[in-house]
Amino acid sequence: MTATSDSGTSNARTPVQRPNGARPAGGSPAADGGGPARARIVIPEKHPMVTVLGSADSLLRVIENAFPGADIHVRGNEVTASGDPGEIALVQRVFNEMMLVLRTGQPLTEDSVERSIAMLKSAAVDPAHPEASENPSQVLTANILSSRGRTIRPKTLNQKRYVDAIDKHTVVFGIGPAGTGKTYLAMAKAVQALQAKEVNRIILTRPAVEAGERLGFLPGTLYEKIDPYLRPLYDALHDMMDPDSIPRLMAAGTIEVAPLAYMRGRTLNDAFIILDEAQNTNPEQMKMFLTRLGFNSKIVITGDVTQIDLPGGTRSGLKVVQEILSDVPDIHFSLLTSTDVVRHKLVSRIVDAYERWDVAQIGDTPGGAPNGASGSNAGDDAGDPPDRRRAPRQPRRNHS
């Protein structure tokens, strides 16, 4: 693909309409006497325009909406853009990155184009921003695992750095809100390591803590009792491996799925070990799990410190461990945010809304404690309406 300046006009088709024709003011004067900047981008013939613009111009519409200061026209395999110089430069970069992705054989989606634009905008605003260090095409084409006709890969820069950290470090913590791919990417790396014979087995574990409900005594055998807590790990395995092979590998001990309590007293050699929902461990359980590490093994610990289901007053081991191990070599903490959510777009907005609400509660509540904030462990009374709230409990006395 080539991108050149173009001071002429073309009989291009009408661009996607924007509400009220809004265009941001500002930008440096163009080189041709202070007028708007113009660019001409030629798409290689080996890439059909539908793969670049999307079905019904859906990808073109994403770009138009992201750059309201640019008029974008398409004629044949040529794209012309004019308008704000800063936006035109970014439009050129977006199309360049799209061509690099297509060159790998990977199709473009609205989500991947939106994420590419977000990365490029962050780098343009702040060249020192972490997202300026890598191109979107490098992030979006970093394949981890191909299985059953689909490829698993990171979709954001933070996800790619998380995956890279798993390759480089023995112990990695993936901490972030729901939907950021913490567990799923760790599972993909575990399956990749097993298939490459880097480890002899995969061990998946999570604490058996109820998410607020009281389920009571569950019927069945021990494994039937703990199965509901481990179901998300089974689901991820079925996405990444032949479902018929999973029972055989589990029977042979190559894949083990067990509650955290089963880890005590063991030394785990030649294994890829994943602890999921680690926010629901207490400090003692976290220490116990970390000290299971054996030779030629790797540990990935994932969790969301805003969704703690421990009884009131119990500190989360995932919170405490950040204070204890942050400076220990070969241990890495990867922090993911709402911008890394890869579920429905609403999930990211929901996470942000709850974070704003938590901050507001801290500001409005005497003493600075969140009033019923998510994951605050403030106790059973914190979420009750004021007129129904029981009298506050007396603080425990410290006789030391």
The whole-number pLDDT of residue 256 equals 93
The whole-number pLDDT of residue 170 equals 98
**Which of these CATH numbers, 1.10.8.100, 3.90.1010.10, 3.90.105.20, 3.40.50.300, describes 147-342?**
3.40.50.300
Domain boundaries, the chain: 32-139, 147-342, 344-377
Cβ partners under 8 Å of residue 189, min gap 6: 144, 163, 166, 167, 272, 300
**Which of these CATH numbers, 2.40.50.140, 3.30.1370.10, 3.40.50.800, 3.30.450.70, describes 32-139?**
3.30.1370.10
- Give how far Cα 171 sits from Cα of 99, 197, 298, 308, 318, Å: 36, 19, 6, 22, 13
As given in the structure block, the two tokens for residue 58 are 């859906």
Phi, psi of 209 (to 5 degrees): -120, 130
The whole-number pLDDT of residue 328 equals 97
**What single string gives the DSSP state of each residue in 31-94?**
TTTSS-EEEEEEPPTTS-HHHHH-GGGHHHHHHHHH-TTEEEEEETTEEEEEE-HHHHHHHHHH
Give me the residues of the chain with pLDDT under 50, please: 1-31, 212-215, 369-400
| Closest to 175 measured CA to CA, from 268, 308, 297, 42 | 308
What is the C-alpha separation between 234 and 246, in angstroms, rounded?
Answer: 9
The whole-number pLDDT of residue 216 equals 53
The whole-number pLDDT of residue 311 equals 85
Phi, psi of 295 (to 5 degrees): -75, 145
Contact 302, 165 (CB under 8 A): no
